[in-house]
């Protein structure tokens, strides 16, 4: 009789102990009563009635998910390999339990298909130069589709875009050609500006012959600074006319 009492007491004690559950600050418990969703509890000490109620734990911390490398064909028919990382967290634990079997696997598969779909709509140059915009587009699409699962996608980052070596060489040649084109354009613009200034200077000197003579003398002075050079230069006719006028006045 005593043994029976002890066994019953142990069973009752275990039953009472199993009723108490402890949830951490970052955890929530989805409670079901006889198979029907009842409420979300936590954090702290909660009571779950054995055989009548059951609980599913869900972690509310941010989850970092690495998206496997995907083969993507860009809009300009270039084959690349892309991988990314997705940051998301559960904001509604009841949906993460009741609306999807495995929220992590579902989010992973959705991220892979969305990555291929979004990048396939852009050219290679856009993939390389507009990553921030692509990250934002992917994040918005994922967040919209995972809302029904109680998941909030906070950020998406494209990590690597791998290109074939032949395409790398082609891109390098294209970049070199672009640099040469820009250099020629800059040189042509400089020549155009210089010719415009020279044309303005010619018009001014044509109106003022004395200015042309002064400019000529300045040029001779600058040449004369090099004492090791022997320079033969013509004498302008304007100077001869000036000397002739001076001699006529003296006579």
Q: How many domains does the chain have?
A: 2
Q: Are residues 91 and 27 in the same domain?
A: no
What is the CATH number for 111?
A: 3.30.479.30
Residue 191 CB neighbours (<10 A): 10
pLDDT in tens, 57-82: 999 999 999 999 999 988 888 888 99
Residue 182 placed within a domain: no
49, part of any domain = yes
Ordered DSSP codes for 4-43: HHHHHHHHHHHHHHHHEEEE-TTEEEEEEETTEEEEEE-S
pTM, two decimals, is: 0.67
Same domain, 164 and 114: yes
8 pLDDT higher than 60? yes
Q: What is the pLDDT of residues 17-42, one digit of tens each?
A: 878 889 999 999 999 999 999 999 98
- Structural domain that includes position 32: 2-58
98 with 121, same domain?
yes
Cis omega (within 30 of 0) for bond into 11: no
Asked if residue 155 belongs to a domain, the reply is yes
Integer-rounded Cα Rg, in Å, for the chain is 42
Residue 173 domain flag: no
* Angle at alpha carbon of residue 65, lines to 87 and 130, rounded to 5°: 60
């Amino acid at each position: 009789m005593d043994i029976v009492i002890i066994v019953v007491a142990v069973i009752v004690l275990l039953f009472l102990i199993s009723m108490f559950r402890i949830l951490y600050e970052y955890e929530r418990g989805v409670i079901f009563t006889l198979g029907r969703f009842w409420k979300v509890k936590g954090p702290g000490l909660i009571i779950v009635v054995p055989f009548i109620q059951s609980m599913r734990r869900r972690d509310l911390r941010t989850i970092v998910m690495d998206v496997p490398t995907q083969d993507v064909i860009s809009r300009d028919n270039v084959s690349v390999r892309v991988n990314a990382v997705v940051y998301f967290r559960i904001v509604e634990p009841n949906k993460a339990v009741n609306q999807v079997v495995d929220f992590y696997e579902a989010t992973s598969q959705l991220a892979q298909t969305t990555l291929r779909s979004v990048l396939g709509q852009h050219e290679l140059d856009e993939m390389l130069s507009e990553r921030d915009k692509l990250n934002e587009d992917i994040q918005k699409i994922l967040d919209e589709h995972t809302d029904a699962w109680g998941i909030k996608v906070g950020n998406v980052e494209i990590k690597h875009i791998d290109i074939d070596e032949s395409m790398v060489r082609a891109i390098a040649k294209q970049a070199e050609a672009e640099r040469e084109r820009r250099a020629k354009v800059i040189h042509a613009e400089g020549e155009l500006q210089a010719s415009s200034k020279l044309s303005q200077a010619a018009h001014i000197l044509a109106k003022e012959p004395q200015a042309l003579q002064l400019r000529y003398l300045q040029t001779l002075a600058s040449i004369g600074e090099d004492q090791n050079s022997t320079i033969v230069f013509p004498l302008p006719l304007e100077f001869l006319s000036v000397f002739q006028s001076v001699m006529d006045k003296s006579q």
